[in-house]
Copies of this chain bind each other. A is one copy, B any other.
């Protein structure tokens, strides 16, 4: 629970970055009545258990073991050498360099959508980390923790033009903006570090939920004061009118019932992480389709959180009519990298290759009397190009 970690963190000194990695080690001496040698974590924990006076007699003042280990900044940082992150956009945006890891790619060495979503989450949290606003919750600011508030995502849209490959170096930019009166928009861009080509773009909307009542909340003034200086008016995806996603019913073509959240699906907010929802959605699409197609875009509308004891049903329905007329397709096309090859129809990427396929999705909790919606989704797909060695 974020509320359990509400103490502000005081550091004896902030991190300094002198153009190189920070190599200092903290020598932990907890128990003033004991010897001065470096203690093990067991001893630290033991000391904390034994007596509260021991826990406060550290050379770091009121630092807990957790605070020593995490070292969450209390002041805005411009560079974090460990996270390979830096503040950009005139002081309010964040850029992180990451290498695509071996376990983030599938059998064809391309990063999975899940990996991209995980990297979005990670860079978003590191952005808050750098801001000095982070309490010890899942991206919650000090003001949010004082009000028992956590972030919940209400909408997420991702467009993938190219999938990064194993070992590739990426730059991920992220920034935030206002969304209505009580929400926050967060956008991302993923670029190839080697070429500067944009691989993927994403936008999301976040609102606050009371951690105890699990009800959505207005944004308190003190939280607005914390985060609004970071807002900028810039969009990764230009979408004039968000498409309405229809609600599927039991007539949906593909249904996967009795999905059970696993312990490993729960995140620090003690509910199923939204990235796991995407896995359930995509697993409901027939293998045969997945083998020959590549996801180019996804829109998710989150309605309700899902706990560890819920039983989940995943429904999906392919579009019958594949004409490119509705909102999402239009906006996808608008944001596609329209290369001269496509524009001029010179043969290597003909009109057929641009044809996109759509699926509508629904995840719901199976109740005794009625079902409750967790998330509605739309996915767009393109045929894999066999000539692209990394289409997966």
Q: Does A295 contact B (CB under 8 A)?
A: no
| CA of A32 to CA of B171, assembled, Å | 28
Q: Does A251 contact B (CB under 8 A)?
A: no
Contacts of A164 in B (CB 8 A): 69
Q: Does A180 contact B (CB under 8 A)?
A: no
Question: What 0/1 pattern do residues 122 to 134 of A give for CB contact below 8 A with B?
Answer: 1001000100000
Question: What 0/1 pattern do residues 82 to 119 of A give for CB contact below 8 A with B?
Answer: 11100000000000010101110111010010100010
Among A142-150, A187-195, A201-209, A310-318, the stretch that binds chain B is A187-195
Q: Does A275 contact B (CB under 8 A)?
A: yes
| CA of A114 to CA of B264, assembled, Å | 9
| CA of A112 to CA of B262, assembled, Å | 13
Q: Are B121 and A103 closer than 8 Å at their CB atoms? A: yes
Q: Are A102 and B270 closer than 8 Å at their CB atoms? A: no
| CA of A193 to CA of B23, assembled, Å | 8
| CA of A345 to CA of B49, assembled, Å | 15
Q: Does A213 contact B (CB under 8 A)?
A: no
| CA of A15 to CA of B189, assembled, Å | 26
Give the one of A66, A71, A262, A270 with max B CB within 10 A: A66
Give the one of A43, A112, A167, A273 with max B CB within 10 A: A167
Q: Does A340 contact B (CB under 8 A)?
A: yes
Within 307-340 of A, Cβ neighbours of B (below 8 Å) are at 337, 339-340
Q: Does A26 contact B (CB under 8 A)?
A: yes
Contacts of A68 in B (CB 8 A): 194-195
A25-B193, A45-B388 known; A165+B102 contact, CB < 8 A: no
Among A34-42, A233-241, A297-305, A367-375, the stretch that binds chain B is A34-42
Q: Are B43 and A339 closer than 8 Å at their CB atoms? A: yes
| CA of A49 to CA of B346, assembled, Å | 12
Give the one of A114, A264, A385 with max B CB within 10 A: A264
Q: Does A279 contact B (CB under 8 A)?
A: yes
Seen from chain A, the residues whose Cβ lies within 8 Å of a Cβ on chain B are 4, 19-21, 25-28, 38-43, 45-50, 64-66, 68-72, 82-84, 97, 99, 101-103, 105-107, 109, 112, 114, 118, 121-122, 125, 129, 138, 162, 164-169, 192-197, 262-264, 266-268, 270, 273, 275, 279, 283, 287, 290, 337, 339-342, 347-349, 385, 387-390
For the A-B complex with A49-B387, A102-B122, A263-B290 known, give 15 more contacts whose Cβ atoms are closer than 8 Å.
Answer: A4-B389, A25-B195, A26-B195, A42-B339, A69-B167, A69-B192, A69-B194, A70-B166, A71-B194, A102-B267, A103-B121, A103-B122, A103-B275, A106-B264, A107-B268
